[in-house]
Amino acid sequence: MKKRAESSTPFFITVIILIAVCAAVCIFAFSCAGSELNFKAVYYYVSYKSAGSATSASSVSDAVTSFGGAGYIVEYDGEYFVTVACYYTEHDAETVKTALAARDLDCEVLKAERKSYKLANISAKKNAGMFADNLSVLNDLSRLAYECANGLDKGEFNQSKAKSAVAAIDDGLESLKRKNSGNCFFDGLCRLGAQCDDAGGGFIYSKDMRALQIAICDFIINVQLY
């Protein structure tokens, strides 16, 4: 892992503490029904019309990042979507879609939802509490990336504050990696950690923080528990 140039400020240290508290509460808030972990995650991706293949989606992604969008490619229900941004309410996503339409950018809102997770084996059932903890923390880290992206766009975050946000996200991911070594979360956490390093490795742009946010949300939606 790359060493950060900036350490976490008291504000982001507080955020990480709150994330940890939320995760601890979540262990008791999730529910299991037979071989399923009931944990609801809903995200609204403002995205370009689905592309026919990963290759064509990649070319659209380059165009999206050129005007400041995330450009992260999401595969959902067998189709590819090139995301511009991600929101936690349909209203916010539709508002942005309308604003983009006024600039002749033809986007749609993709609702990505996961209501439950199959616990594939005895090990998964045993670790259900920890897995619920992971999902809760990841959701909070996605929101931290979202707030950083918005802060950069609005001029509320300078580079020092953005680097502190990246450091806080990185710390959260590293903590999860230590707790999940060798299980179904570990490889995905490593990929997210590498993307976090890339986002914070130089000048931090809002589009890179949005891409990191969406990568975390995409992982939450698609992770398989075993």
Q: Transcribe 81-119 into DSSP letters.
A: EEEEEEESSHHHHHHHHHHHHTTT--EEEEEEEEEEEEB
Distance of alpha carbon 30 from alpha carbon 204, whole angstroms: 35
> Cβ atoms within 10 A of the Cβ of 168, count?
25
Q: What residue spans define the domains of the chain?
A: 10-222
**Residue among 216, 198, 212 at smallest CA distance from 1:** 198
Q: Which residues contact 166 (CB under 8 A, 6 or more apart)?
A: 4, 148, 196, 199, 200, 204, 209
* β-sheet bridge partners, residue 83: 47
Residue 4, pLDDT score: 45
Q: For residue 53, what pLDDT is reported? A: 79
- The backbone torsions φ and ψ at residue 107, rounded to the nearest 5 degrees and listed phi first, read -115, 170
Q: What is the pLDDT along the chain (226 residues), one digit of tens a residue?
A: 444 444 445 444 444 444 444 433 333 345 666 699 999 999 999 999 766 777 888 889 999 999 999 999 999 888 899 999 999 999 999 999 999 999 999 999 999 999 999 999 999 999 999 999 999 999 999 999 999 999 999 999 999 999 999 999 999 999 999 999 999 999 999 999 999 999 999 999 999 999 999 999 999 999 999 9
Cβ contact 46:109 at 8 Å: yes
pTM for this predicted structure = 0.86
Query: HSE of 31 in the Cβ direction (CA atoms, 13 Å)?
Result: 3
> 111: left (phi > 0), else alpha (psi -120 to 50), else beta?
beta
Is 147 within 8 Å of 161 (Cβ atoms)?
no
Any idea how long the chain is? 226
Radius of gyration, alpha carbons of the chain? 17
